[in-house]
Amino acid sequence: KLMDAVSDHHWCIPFSVSGNPEPKLSWLLNGKAVEEGPFIRTMIHDYSDGEYHGCLHLDSPTHINNGKYTLLASNSYGEDRKAVFAHFMHEPWN
């Protein structure tokens, strides 16, 4: 399950993922790998009923962070992906 981005102090793209063993999560932005670091990071907030609930947190995203975010989840039994569009800020020249 993947939902639209919401502003929650920082921006958050919420998700829920289930899998056993625990799936490895990664993100694409417009088809290119997202480099996680201090300003963009995956955080798991809760685990319940076999699901991991979390957010891709974005700290002060700008127009360069706009686009199609794809969550990739994989483990030894398979993989899945879901995508959502996020728009944080208009380009400064428009």
Instruction: Give the H or E element holding residue 35.
Output: none
**Among 72, 68, 56, which residue's Cα sits nearest to residue 19?**
72
Tens of pLDDT, residue by residue over 2-24, are 888 777 668 999 999 999 999 99
| pTM strictly above 0.75 | yes
Helix, strand, coil share of the chain (percent; to 5)? 5, 60, 35
Tens of pLDDT, residue by residue over 25-76, are 999 999 999 999 999 999 999 998 889 999 999 998 989 999 999 999 999 9
Residue with tokens 């208009």: 90
